[in-house]
A and B are shown apart, each in its own frame.
Chain A
């Protein structure tokens, strides 16, 4: 499959800080990739390199077969602005027209606004929009130029559940029509809901690059939850917490844990075993990395 965005052995230094350390990453046509990592991990730096805002200190970044610094190459991508920076004085329709004017192929304005639930707001001034409406407008702008690939940085931060779902639908329909997406999010639920491939970055490096399921399996932990007054010493417990009378235990071997629990004769009820969420997987990977350093 065609590679749309490629980082090869890319490092980026800000003074003494090494924000990216020999990162290599290929994003192929039609992929929906989630970029995951704590603040300061290098996510934003990586996106800034791909969209041409910064140059790598070493290594090469390729976008649609060319350089991200070339405006002609950038005709094929769409980026989300931070909604706090949208020009307040302009109307919704005007800002869409302004952004569209930069692209040879343009999305139909009415259809674009409708896709993100903004159809009634075309004549509204941006200064008068709610936070959620601004956020949706910001994401819609990434699609104004009929791009082949979009970069969505934290697309639904601060949105309520309904608005978030509406936005996800917009992103999914772009993907179903063959669009390529690189998405960062603090909401792990969002990555799990949208992405097929997850790239975990931490300390400026790619720590893991695999499917959502595989990332969970890499860590291989399960969460065993139960209600019990007091528990004996159990084998293989990686972490435990007590909340609302329930005990949650993280373990790599839930079968053995349950066997030992039954053997000990401790009374318990409401046993539940679930795979860990991506968030738990992600914390495990990044803390493992810290421990190695």
Chain B
């Protein structure tokens, strides 16, 4: 079974690398935001810059998960290649696993320019173990977003997935405090912030990188969102199967 996961991962990775649009999109936006906002406004504050760097990495990961996954899943469903894959002797697991591993690779790749900019142009600092912990937190915190991406991809046609995933992505990223730190947000947003999944995910990354105490509500809500998104993705997958392949 694991060799099949490997074959599917290899196949997905090759597609990502040969048509690197998704990779570029995921990597460009957080790197540009680093240069435009973090370097001039928070670059001189070591803790602030480190937290902001974590936030921008989370932005790249969210973009790969919510936008990248939903669009590629929705597009694949429309290709005649999709029913052919279902005739190959494998269940859905290797395909899913290959997709998740590939998305994680895109997330880590998107984090590289952000880290380079942070190291060269800001006072952000992190120890090697905390960096590793931060990257692990990044992947763990991205889980609900990958599930949301799968949910949208199985539910929507590709054109709708492109629009809807953007509409979902930006408000959640902003309210979660990825662009503006939560403590400087207006009061009602501060109250709302812990209830969106991006806040809990960012809290994990901030805590891993700087040793801060994470917001408890944010972490609980991250778990709640992960479970809800898993159920929704499973429902959308079965619904799609039932409609197309009954």
Which residues of A come within 8 Å of B, CB atoms?
A: 48, 51-55, 71-75, 77, 79, 81-82, 84-87, 89-90, 94, 97-99, 101-103, 125, 145
Contact = CB atoms under 8 A, between A and B. Distances in A.
Contact of B84 (A55, A82, A101, A125): A82
A120 to B, nearest CB: 21
A79 B84 CA distance: 7
A85 B4 contact: no
Contact of B82 (A75, A85, A102): A85
Contacts of B183: none
A101 B245 contact: no
Given A90-B15, A101-B4, A85 B80 contact: yes
A52 B83 CA distance: 10
Contacts of B11: 87, 90, 94, 98
A99 B10 CA distance: 12
Contact of B86 (A53, A72, A103): A53
B213 interface: no
B90 interface: yes
30 contacts: A52-B86, A53-B87, A53-B245, A54-B245, A71-B91, A72-B89, A73-B89, A74-B88, A74-B89, A77-B87, A81-B81, A81-B84, A82-B80, A82-B81, A85-B81, A86-B81, A87-B15, A89-B14, A89-B15, A89-B19, A90-B14, A94-B14, A97-B7, A98-B11, A99-B88, A101-B3, A102-B89, A102-B90, A125-B18, A145-B89
For chain B, the bracket of interface size reads: 20 to 34
Contacts of A71: 89-91
Contacts of A145: 89
A102 B84 CA distance: 13
Nearest to B19: A89
B67 to A, nearest CB: 19
Contacts of A73: 89
Contacts of B127: none
A74 B86 CA distance: 10
A87 B18 CA distance: 11
A74 B203 CA distance: 47
Closest 4 CB pairs of A and B: A85-B80, A85-B81, A81-B84, A101-B7
A217 to B, nearest CB: 36
B48 to A, nearest CB: 41
A84 B34 CA distance: 41
Interface of B: 3-4, 6-8, 10-11, 14-15, 18-19, 79-84, 86-91, 245-246
A195 B78 CA distance: 33
A209 B125 CA distance: 77
A269 to B, nearest CB: 52
A138 B9 CA distance: 21
Contacts of B80: 81-82, 84-85
A125 B19 CA distance: 12
A52 B87 contact: yes
A71 B87 CA distance: 8
A85 B90 contact: no
A98 B79 contact: no
A52 B35 CA distance: 52
A51 B87 contact: yes
Contacts of A79: 84, 87
A7 B82 CA distance: 25
Contacts of B245: 53-54
A103 B89 contact: yes
A209 to B, nearest CB: 25
B3 to A, nearest CB: 6
A98 B84 contact: no
Nearest to B82: A85
A107 to B, nearest CB: 15
Contacts of A55: 246
A87 B84 CA distance: 12
